[in-house]
Structure 1
Amino acid sequence: MNIRSATFLSLATTVFCAGLNAPLPAKSAAIVGIPTQPKLETALISSPMPLIAQAETATLSAAAEALITEAVVAFQTETEEGYKLAIANLEVVIPEVVANDFPDDIAVLYLLLGRSYDLLGQNQTALDYYERSLPFYRAAGDLLGEARVLNNIGLVLNAFGQNREALDYYEQSLPLSKQVGDLAMQATTLSNMGLTHDNLSEREKALEFYLAAVAIAEELGDQSIRGTLLNNIGYAYDALGEKEKALAFYDEALPLLRAVNNRRMEATVLSNKGLVYGSFGDKLQALDFYGQSLAIIQTIGDPTMEATVLNNIGLAYDALGEKQQALDAYQTSLPLSEAGGARKMVGTTLGNIGLVYYSLGEYEQALEFYEQSLGFSREVGDRQMEATTLNNLGLTYQVLGEQQLNEDFLIQSITFYRESLDLSIAVGDRRMTATTLNNLGLIYALLDSPEETLEVFNTALPIIRAVGDRRMEATTLANIGLIYGETGEYEQALNFYNQALPLAQAVGDRSAEALTLVNIATVEYEQGQPENALATMEAAIAIVEDLRTKIISPELRQSYFATVQTYYQFYIKLLMELDQQNPGQGYAQLAFAASEKSRARTLLELLTEANTDIRTGIDPTLLEQEKTLLAQLSATEAERIEIYGTNQSTDAEKIEIDQTLSTLVTEYEALQDRIRRLSPNYANLKYPQTLDVEALQTQILDEDTILLQYALGKEKSYLWAVTKTDFTSYELPARHVLDPLIDEARQQITDAREGLPPPRQRQREQVRQAALLALSQEILAPAIAQLQDKRILVVADGNLHYLPFSALSSTPEYAPLGDRHEIINLPSASTLAILRQKTIPSIKADSSLAILADPVFNHADCRLGSANTNCVNPPQPQKNLDLDLTDGDPLELLALKRSASTFSQVNWDRLPGTRTEAQGILALLPDDVDTFQAFDFDASRDVLTGDRLQDYDLIHIATHGFLNANEPELSGLVLSLFDENQQLQNGFLRLNDVFNLKLNANLLVLSACETGLGENVQGEGLVGLSRGFMYAGVPRIVMSLWQVSDEATAEFMTRFYQNLLEDQMTAAIALQETQREMREETRWTHPYYWSAFILQGEWQ
């Protein structure tokens, strides 16, 4: 077999779902066994009579009777405290009862103790007491009591996953209850037999027992048992894929259970309703039901039930993309299940933890958890869970095989899928059968076996239709369409896509609808119908635009938009090809507008939001929560500093504090989303339209400015050059051609080796210039004639974000582009339009200046305990976490290891050059200029987050920066980590802090390493500090693309401010002139030193 090309693989993943992961809903409390309580004389609850009718000559002490009565009352409160009190009292009383040889009493008390431990989730102890009570009931000839105990033993065995053994006990219990004519006990046992068959995935049998039991419950008028049975019937229908029927039974059960105050069952039904809404895709509604359920369970004090609902909460967060919150829920659930001996629940949770790792790309970790889950599913005999886990193992090996082009992995994947398929067929789980068939079909597609692929998909289709899952039906139809499209059978492909489309529309899955339209447009394009393809793509883009506006969270909106960037790329490609076929018809202008619409949209919306007070009209308690969370973030950051600052701290402590910090950030972002959702001002907010060519020329560009906007694509890339009066488009090489050239150019720019012999230095210079010329030829040369001497606005894409355009060349013989042109970077052209909605003053010679420099970072700093702030001590070694990936790393450490090494750095070296830098800048200012200086301990986070800097025109921050490319909200600046009393303090200014600043500065200079970088998000660009400061109110930002030496930066910045303030240059010209001076007038001639700093934002 041959593995198909990567082109097909990436295309396959864009069709509905390339593979269907099967999460494990928590079923251990979804269907509920009906326990039996000891028979307690009702009179005892209100009077001090003995618990059990005794022989006339037998009496208990008054103290014992009082303890028993108190135990009964406590037990019937149905609270954790009540159960614990009942246990404490009864264990005191038992010796006296045994000593007096009251066998009836012993039987009842052992049963009551067992039930109390059962309700506390201590299943093994419960089982011990149930087994102790059984011989006493048998000795007394109490058939009904014996039936009760047998029933409860069965339930504990269910919890242990020993379902066949549980059935044996129920089958012993049922004839006893029939013999004594106790209908309630019969209904109870029938229901629990149904539960056991449900656990064994024998749904039809389960329904038979449930329906028999509910008929008895209706005859009895017992609303509690009836409500429980209705829940179980609902769950059985849910498992059979009949969701609406399931909801109907749940809704019928709830009022019955509430009427009799059966809180435990009410919580169960609410959780089960959450499961159904989760399967509908309404995860927020599911979370609402889970939250209601969890609140009830926590008052009852049942750890196993709590574990179950936490597991389901984890599923909902996972589906929403909140991976850390999902993992937190699972990891909270796991010890509760383990403590209660609920091994089936343990297996379920382990499988779902594996699913989180899978979704994060940590496939080896996922496999470990899946394999553990598989062991538990086999141990407890849950074949449905086993089938699900085998499917997930197959999908994980499929992805590994696809990534590594490893045929052995794909064959292993097929083996797992086939095992899963056999099991799901055996247990009658048609949904799982269809899921696995769909995934198996995609494996065959990867192995370039279209005939086998179609055979499997066509086998899945009637099963899916029988289940009635129209969403999965649309998925499979679309996948069939893809196969026909790949084999060039376009009419067949369209036939299946056109079947999938109305299904996606019918179930309200607009994302699937948009994707189907994209697939249809792809076929129309291949058929030589670009106009039809364009119309279809416009319909798809309209859906995407509508969907993204409905997402409140900026982070989620950004993530969603990244997933649909291929749509915009194809749309742009269509328009550009139509422009080539129909020159002058405006298609290229439409392509530019589409490109502008596809980039930095979240930033645009955040900047618009920044001009609106979204907190007006918000519930003060929410604003108080916001303050509390910010305080917690600050305290946690301070604790993190202390933990990382001592050699006595363990890796586990470091991982835990980093996890706490990450969780708090997530909670803070969630609270921000809630404030947005409830804000009247946010509801009335009108987000701006992105600029088209005409608006750009009218509103932004002047006669001396040209915009160069890039779009790098898989097959072709494009450049649009726009001036005040002209618009020209160019086709460039594909991304895979340009990326190596970009990487080589950046490597040559940043590799400054000093002290080499002159011949070697000249040779390296030639290599560097050749690399820059080669890249310039591809991305600049087409538009050279239009550049003239104009100012250049650069809207980059892809890896071009990491490149300083000033180091490129516009001539065949190398000459830096920055020699002739001011160069300004923009996230998008539309960004500037938003910034200009507020008046942006020019920078004057008497501009006020606030400067923060030379903070205190570590214990070894000589300024600690010294009045001499000019003291000098040698640089301290940096202490970093071990960044080698190892098997078994928890998610927290994996996330940390994926971050840049500077993120884990603890002992930052002092930056004495920043003091020289700051003093040189201050010396340029007239004495009457308002300045604020914060050095040493004063260069603190509190200064930046307070109101001290709000009214300064210029802000200069000279310190370390740190980048977390995977979690950009954890990137930031390092300020003084000690106060003047030598006490540790929080000195980390992270991105979420920056968004809360209120600044009126005209220019911010970040004289720190890599402050211009961030996470490169498709469709958004670099997500880092610059957008936070723009949100805070700064229209111009100077920042760096890499770490530059302390001394060179000091020289650069002194010259920059001299050009800016003394010579009254604009920021763009001052930057251009400083780069030229550094290259020509100092020893810092290598572009590593002079091209690192860029200007983003307003240039005027």
Structure 2
Amino acid sequence: MNNQNQPQKVGQRHQLWTSRAVALFFTLFLLSESTIANVKGYGLEIAQQTVSAPSVPLSADKQQRYQDAVKLFEEAQELQKKGTKEGYQQAIEKYQQALKIVQELGLRQKEVEILVYIGVAYNSISEKETALNYLQQALDKTQGLKPLYKASILGYIILIYSDMGRLDDAINSFKQAELIFLQQTKIEPDELGLLASFYKSIATVYNRKGEPEKAFSYLDKALKIYRDTLKSLDGEASVLEDIGFIHFLRGETSKAFEKYNQALAIFQKISNLPAQSQILSHIASLHRKMGEYQQAIKHLYKAQKLLERVEGTLSQQGFIVSNIADVYAISGDYKAAIPYYQQAVNLYYKSGDTNLTLFAYVNISNMYKFSGEYQKALEYLNKGSSLSVKNKDGQALILQQNASIYILQSDYQNALEEYNKALDIQRSIPRPTSEADTLKQIGLLYKSLGDYQSSINHYTKALDIYKKIGNKPQQAIVHGLIASVYDASKNSDEALKSYEQALLLLNKEDYQSEILTLRNMVRTYNSLKNYPKALETAQRALSLSKGKGKNEEFKSLNILAEVYDSNGNYQKALETYQTILPYFRQAGLRFDEADILNQIGRTYTLSNQYQLAINTYNEELKLRRVFKNGTDEADVLYSIAKNQRQLKNLETALTNIDSAIKIVENIRTNVQNPDLRTSYFATVQNYYKFKINLLMELHKKDPSKGYNAIAIETSEASRARGLVELLTEARANIRKGANPELLAQEKRLQDLINAKEKIRLEIINSEKIKNPVLKANADKLQTEIDELLNQQKQLETKIRQSNPKYANLKYPQPLKLAQIQQQLDKDSLLLQYSLGEERSFLWVVSPTSLDTYELPKKSEIDKASINLFCLISQNSSKPPSATGKENPCQDTKNIKTRQIDLAAEELSKLVLAPVKDKLGKKRLVVVTDGALQYIPFAALADLTAQSTSQRGKEKKNQLDNKPKDNRGGGLIPEIDNLPPATNSNYQPLFINHEIVNLPSASTIAI
């Protein structure tokens, strides 16, 4: 076939299917990472080639059959020229018919060649597993053929593995191919071209693995072959392009520009239009990274015009217009980006590339998502979903995207379910890197819900995957994510250790990850009040950001401003924030704009400029409402309320905190897993504490309006909801009527947990624990049990959902004051505590009255409570609130007195002194808070103690009928096991009072 008078085709570099060149055609496909998304279009080159004669003599009849095969092959090539999915599918049918003929004729070499073409065609329409299947068939039939046949097939397999993210498989295939070359006594020039293409390909793989030095090493070898031996301008330029791309990834913009311009000059010299287009696209990416958006669009338009002159470049044109859309998206102009993404959809669809079509739909969905139009976003995900029927990777991607939208809508339960579906798919393929990515997203979700241990568990699973596949950059990222969980749980020391691990794993070229890690470390140092170290780290991040684009630089400036803020240098912080804000606004980066406004508002608050803070927070609130993220909106309302309180606008503050609480209540009810509901609710307790303080302030201002009653009802709402729900579900017996298969699965899980726990206990409770192997087994069993318990929690959620009873379950609301009073008799008093950072409160409720008292702040009461706890437990355990290895019971600074009677009296004076004359001998129903929950309330000193003689006569009877602490849990020893008192005047409360401990007053009614 003569191609001289045809329009230029993509990468027209070699003749395929003629003599030795048949073994070299894969050179066309071994491209850099920057072009890997476009390799499907290169299958068209195969359609331009002539067919060589059979390698063995044929009879007349067989010769005719062979000519039939040739005709079918040529028809397939013509069909491939369309560059559409339909064209490739029709071509595959023709190839299959030709394959059958050459198999009948026993022409194994031709069979291998056609199998390869079929694999190429399947890859062109994104059916990579099928492509690999055909290529493997071809590989298996190369025995007895020239060794470089096998090498060439391995070359294309390397490319597909790389495209699929199976980097270790790609490296193994390269090693097989390289061995074939090393075993050759002489390598011909065109064979050297194939070797150079292998070097380019493996450089791509090593770069993706985070080993750029190895990548440069292989690219240097390829450049030497193309430039010095083959004198191939085309090959030389392609290597320069790849080198430029790695410099781009390393943030070395000047070196990247230099290599790209060298490559562009060569491609212009040889009139390679597609290659010129691609280089212009790379240069546009550099401008985009530097925040030079107009320059980026200008270069992309040039690239698009060049491709329009080239036949069969639909996918590549789609890639260019998608890049134009990316520029608009990054600059925040989502509306302008959508038409370009739609153009990309049309081009990809015409080319037959369903994968890229799906990605384009996801991009459109993201534009609507970022604009807060979540329904529209879901509609485009549904369109993408229709293309993923045979594409499990695509199905998992759609599920992940659905989950991200649910999170923005604060619908955490549905998000978790979508992520778990994605995990199931990714594990079934299997696709370890995608699985790890989903695990990271689940870890972030659990962190948002306050379930820090589950968050770390999921991050650790992702880390294990990255360790297994040897991906150090991702390991570093996960260590940073784990550190962020430690930060959130106030474990700053562990956070810093994890950040340091992340830095050790990073390559010096990965400046973006290093800058991000340093920024996060700054926040940790701030929380530790280590401002010199925070400032040093922030300046280091800023220095690294210089020359890496305005976006990086301004984000590092933002971190520096946070240091000024934390250190009390509010004016300097505000000046820095005000420098950053216009850039984010001009660039259209609205999420960043909202974050900066939040920080400015915080700084105004800290510097006592409350009205300016409110004005700034109101600007932020408008943006948060556009994003429709309930969690962030509630947080802004809370901040506004705090500033309004400072300005004595108490009623307005109350309205705003009520709005915030309403939002978080709605979020909580959407989470069906009770453990997650509880952990999430714990993250928003500060809203309720603030409202209680506000109400009590209003009560002090005007006692006639009943604000104190609303305050105790708020206290009930903050602690009762989860308990009421759990008790209601227990009574409803949600397992009755649930899916039998789920119940059977639950039983199997429980049996498995019991069996593993039995074996583990046998090891740890015997001499076996001294055996290192058995100890390791016990540790492994504990890990497995933890995983099974996590599965059990997820299964319980499914059981709830499968039961119609659960869907219709009506939860009682926390009790109002009047309802609480109805539950009390005349001989009972309710003592309900709420401990706050500024002050604490006690409500004393009888059937007919409500009295309120202000108590010392939480820190004082907690310290006295922990002191008493340590004495009661005889330092054998530590308070449940203690984190890490520290035990306050063993720290002499925390123990004010070593005498239990004095400790009990000290705590009683803090929490009972104002009401001692109201107690009489009544039954006390006690609802505690903070560290008060750790001690048996009955052990507190009775501040209205009777005489010693009277007390002695009654003590025995009281002890014989001693009421028990009703909280359970086994944390607190029995009261008759208390260490002896030294003060003869010490009289515990239980002598004169029956004590009923409750987690919430509302539980009385359940």
TM-score (norm 1): 0.61
SS of 2:593 mapped into structure 1: helix
> In the alignment, is the contact (CA less than 8 A) between 2:678 and 2:722 conserved in 1?
yes
The Cα offsets for residues 467-497 of structure 1, whole Å up to 9 and x where unpaired, read as 4344443343333233333333333333323
Distance 1:383 1:644, change over 3 A: same
Of 439, 458, 475, which residue of structure 1 is paired with 2:578? Answer: 458
Q: 1:620 to 1:367 in 2, by over 3 A?
A: same
**Is contact 2:506-2:513 (8 Å) kept?**
yes
Higher strand share: 1
Aligned to 2:613: 493
Distance 1:186 1:139, change over 3 A: farther
CA distance in 2, matches of 1:305, 1:751: 51
Are 1:97 and 2:226 matched, yes or no?
no
Match of 2:725 among 597, 600, 605: 605
SS of the aligned residue for 2:719 comes to coil
Once the two structures are TM-superposed, the CA of residue 340 in structure 1 deviates from its matched residue by 6.0
Q: 2:56 maps to which residue?
A: none
Query: Is the partner of 2:678 in helix, strand or coil?
Result: helix
Residue 106 of structure 1, CA deviation: 7.4
Write the distance in 2 (CA, Å) between the matches of 1:692 and 1:323: 33
Alignment of 1:584-599 (within 5 A): 584-599=704-719
- C-alpha distance in 2, partners of 1:596/1:229? 59
Give the corresponding residue for 1:793. Answer: 925
CA contact (8 A) 1:264 1:297 kept: no
Structure 2 Cα separation of the partners of residues 625 and 684 of structure 1: 24
Of 563, 569, 575, 1:443 maps to 563
Counterparts of 1:821 and 1:695, CA distance in 2: 37
Which range is displaced more, 171-180 or 626-635? 171-180
Which of 510, 525, 538 is the equivalent residue of 1:417?
Answer: 538
Q: Partner of 2:830: helix, strand, or coil?
A: strand
> Cα distance, 1:661 vs. partner?
2.0
Deviation of residue 611 (structure 1)? 3.4
**Distance verdict in 2 for CA 1:491–1:140, change over 3 Å:** same
2:420 and 2:348 map into 1 onto residues whose CA distance is 18
Alpha-carbon distance in 2 for matches of 1:287, 1:32: 32
Aligned partners of 1:626 and 1:668 also within 8 Å? yes
Aligned equivalents of 1:688, 1:336: Cα separation in 2: 45
Partner in structure 2 of residue 732 of structure 1: 855
- Give the match for residue 788 of structure 2: 664
Partner of 1:1042: 972
Partner SS state of residue 707, structure 1: strand
Over residues 516-538 of structure 1, what are the superposed CA-to-partner deviations in whole Å (9 max), with x where a residue is unaligned?
Answer: 33333333333334344334433
C-alpha displacement at 1:690, in angstroms?
Answer: 1.9
> What per-residue deviation string (whole Å, max 9, x for no partner) do you get for residues 211-269 of structure 1?
55555666545554455556655556555555666676666656765776646656866
Q: 1:499 to 1:169 in 2, by over 3 A?
A: closer
The residue correspondences of 1:501-540 to structure 2 (distance < 5 A) are 501-540=621-660
**What is the count of residue pairs matched by the alignment?**
801
Q: How is 1:893-972 mapped onto 2 (pairs within 5 angstroms)?
A: none
Q: Classify 1:793/1:423 alpha carbon distance in 2 versus 1 (closer, same or farther; 3 Å).
A: same
Tell me how far 1:603 sits from its aligned partner.
0.6
> Which one is further off, 72-81 or 792-801?
72-81
Equivalence for 1:890: none
Q: Is the 8 A contact 2:842 2:855 kept in 1?
A: yes
1:410-448 CA distance string (max 9 Å, x none):
222223223333444532252x54544343322212212
Corresponding residue number in structure 2 for 1:156? 205
Residue 457 of structure 1: how far off its partner (Å) = 1.9
- Cα–Cα, structure 1 residues 695 and 94, in superposed 2: closer, same or farther, change >3 Å? same
Q: Which amino acid aligns with 2:625?
A: Q
Shift of 1:294: 7.0
CA contact (8 A) 1:117 1:125 kept: no
C-alpha RMSD of the superposition: 5.4
Using the TM superposition, give the Cα deviation of residue 794 of structure 1 relative to its aligned residue in structure 2, in angstroms.
0.9
One-letter identity of the residue aligned with 1:395: R
State the distance in 1 between where 2:934 and 2:721 align: 20
What is the distance in 2 between the residues matched to 1:228 and 1:290?
Answer: 28
Could you tell me how far 1:602 is from its partner in structure 2? 0.4
The answer as to 2:789 corresponding to 1:673 is no
Match of 1:777 in 2: 909
- The CA distance in 2 between the partners of 1:664 and 1:195, in whole Å, is 46
1:1016-1064 CA-partner distances (Å, limit 9, x unpaired) = xxxxxxxxx5xxxxxxxxxxxxxx542459xx89xxxxxxxxxxxxxxx
Q: Cα–Cα, structure 1 residues 528 and 687, in superposed 2: closer, same or farther, change >3 Å?
A: same
Paired residue for 1:370?
Answer: 499
Q: Which amino acid aligns with 1:451?
A: Q
- SS of aligned partner of 2:722: helix
**2: CA distance, partners of 1:643 / 1:657:** 10
Partner of 1:708, secondary structure, is strand
How many Å apart are 1:466 and its aligned residue? 2.6
Q: Per-residue displacement from partner, 1:672-720 (whole Å, max 9, x unpaired)?
A: 334445654434333322222222222x012222111111222222211
Shift of 1:749: 4.0
Deviation at 1:142, TM superposition (A): 10
Deviation at 1:396, TM superposition (A): 2.9
Shift of 1:374: 3.8
Distance 1:440 1:226, change over 3 A: same
Q: Summarize the alignment of residues 1050-1089 of structure 1 with structure 2, pairs less than 5 Å apart.
A: none
Out of 856, 861, 867, the position equivalent to 1:744 is 867
Aligned counterpart for 1:115 among listed residues 123, 135, 159: 159
Query: Partner letter of residue 389 of structure 1?
Result: T
Higher relative contact order (CA 8 A, sep 6+): 1
Residues 30 and 268 in structure 1, CA contact (< 8 A), matched pair in contact too: no
Cα pair distance change 1:1011/1:186, threshold 3 Å: farther
The 1:723/1:411 distance shift into structure 2, 3 A limit, reads same
After superposition, the Cα gap between the structure-2 partners of 1:330 and 1:808, relative to the gap in structure 1 and judged at 3 Å, is closer
Per-residue deviation, 1:315: 5.0
Query: How far did residue 151 of structure 1 move?
Result: 6.5
Deviation track 1:105-140 (CA, whole Å, cap 9, x = no partner) reads 577446335435645423445556489889999966
2:808 counterpart residue number: 684
Alignment of 1:156-175 (within 5 A): 156=205, 158-161=207-210, 162=212, 165=216, 168-170=240-242
Q: Aligned residues: percent identity? A: 29
Q: 1:470 to 1:304 in 2, by over 3 A?
A: closer
Cα offset for 1:791? Answer: 1.7
Name the aligned partner's letter for residue 770 of structure 1.
L
| Offset, 1:604 | 1.0
Q: Distance in 2 between matches of 1:254 and 1:292?
A: 26
- Structure-2 change in CA distance of 1:131 and 1:341 (3 Å): farther
Contact 2:455–2:485 at 8 Å: present in 1 too?
A: yes
Compute the TM-score of the two structures, normalised by the length of structure 2. Answer: 0.66
Partner of 1:387: 515
- 1:577-635, Cα deviation, whole Å (9 max, x unpaired): 33233233322222222222222320112222333354577555544544444344334
CA distance in 2, matches of 1:440, 1:244: 33
Partner SS, residue 580 of structure 2:
helix
Alpha-carbon distance in structure 2 between the residues aligned to 1:445 and 1:818: 63
CA contact 2:605–2:643 (8 Å) conserved in 1: yes
In structure 2, distance between residues paired with 1:252 and 1:314: 36
Deviation at 1:752, TM superposition (A): 11
**Residues 821 and 846 in structure 2, CA contact (< 8 A), matched pair in contact too:** yes
What SS does the aligned partner of 2:924 have?
Answer: strand
Counterpart position of 1:897? none
Distance 1:577 1:307 in 2: 50
In structure 2, the CA distance between the partners of 1:69 and 1:1088, relative to structure 1 (3 Å rule), is farther
Q: CA deviation at 1:793?
A: 0.9
CA pair 329-737 structure 1, distance change in 2 beyond 3 A = closer
Name the aligned partner's letter for residue 791 of structure 1: R
Quick one: which amino acid aligns to residue 410 of structure 1?
Y
Deviation (angstroms), 1:301: 6.3
